[in-house]
Amino acid sequence: MALYRVKIFSLFERFWHWSQMLLIVVLLITGFGLHGFHGIFSFEQAVTLHTSAALALLVLWIFSVFWLFTTRTWRHFIPTVSGMWGVLRYYSFGIFKGERHPYRKAYWRKHNPLQALAYLMLKIVLFPAIWISGLAYLFYFAWRDLPRATEWLTGIAMVHTAAAFLILAFVFIHVYMLTTGHSFRDHLMPMISGFDEVDLSPEEEAYLRKDQPGDIR
């Protein structure tokens, strides 16, 4: 294996990442406004912005799921036990002792085991929880005549808010991780340029140089 600078984040992935980030920030700000944490927007403005951003994000996620499966990029989000303990040990105390990160990106495995697990849980647990509860809340008018609808609505609102706080925690951790190990710029640039340092096998290097020469430096 040898280390090269390789394009591992496509243009769509970068667009998806930054658009998702912007929409989640809008949802968090307007959501906190709806709960009375601030008065930046009126209640009506917050509802409109929150609903519009949520629908835009839903459309983006539909396209991203389609893209993940058609390009087989979903494989990057499947966690593996191999190397998990080393990564956990590093983030628990190795990072504070100046140790080197035990994981190096590979062409078909750009997320370390802990990242892959975190992103998978985000996609199959938190996102569905916030979407199902949010849509149920949005379309309350369609089921408000059902027995105990008000009680159900209260529970749905609690699930939605809890999922939002967990997503906020993920955002804080995600930003914090950008300040560890390499410089903030080194962590950030791959999601801007698409290129990052990756371990390549001789076969992967030969494939890239022949079929995708613009993706390797």
* Cβ atoms of 167 and 24 closer than 8 Å: yes
Residue 172: predicted pLDDT: 92
- Using pLDDT thresholds of 50, 70 and 90, give the confidence band for residue 143: very high
Mean pLDDT score, 87-101: 83
DSSP H or E stretch at residue 18: helix 11-34
Which pTM does this prediction carry?
0.86
Alpha helices, DSSP H, located in 35-178: 43-70, 84-92, 113-121, 127-138, 149-177
- Torsion, Cα 166 158 131 173, to 10 degrees, reads -10
Residue 182: predicted pLDDT: 67
The residue whose two tokens read 């190397």 is 83
Digit-coded pLDDT (tens) for 152-179: 999 999 999 999 999 999 999 888 888 8
* Cβ atoms of 119 and 90 closer than 8 Å: no
* Cβ atoms of 194 and 153 closer than 8 Å: no
Length of the chain: 217
Q: How far apart are CA 32 and CA 40, in angstroms?
A: 10
Mean pLDDT score, 114-140: 92
Count Cβ atoms below 10 Å from residue 132 Cβ, excluding itself.
14
Residue 98: predicted pLDDT: 78
Q: How far apart are CA 199 and CA 2, in angstroms?
A: 5
> Considering the chain, what percentage of its residues have pLDDT values greater than 90?
48
Q: Which residue did the predictor score with more confidence, 177 or 58?
A: 58
Digit-coded pLDDT (tens) for 15-25: 999 999 999 99
**Domains of the chain by residue range:** 2-215
- Neighbouring residues of 104: CB distance < 8 A, sequence distance ≥ 6: 3, 197, 198, 199
User: Quick one: 2-215 is in which CATH superfamily?
Assistant: Transmembrane di-heme cytochromes, Chain C (1.20.950.20)
Q: How far apart are CA 30 and CA 72, in angstroms?
A: 35
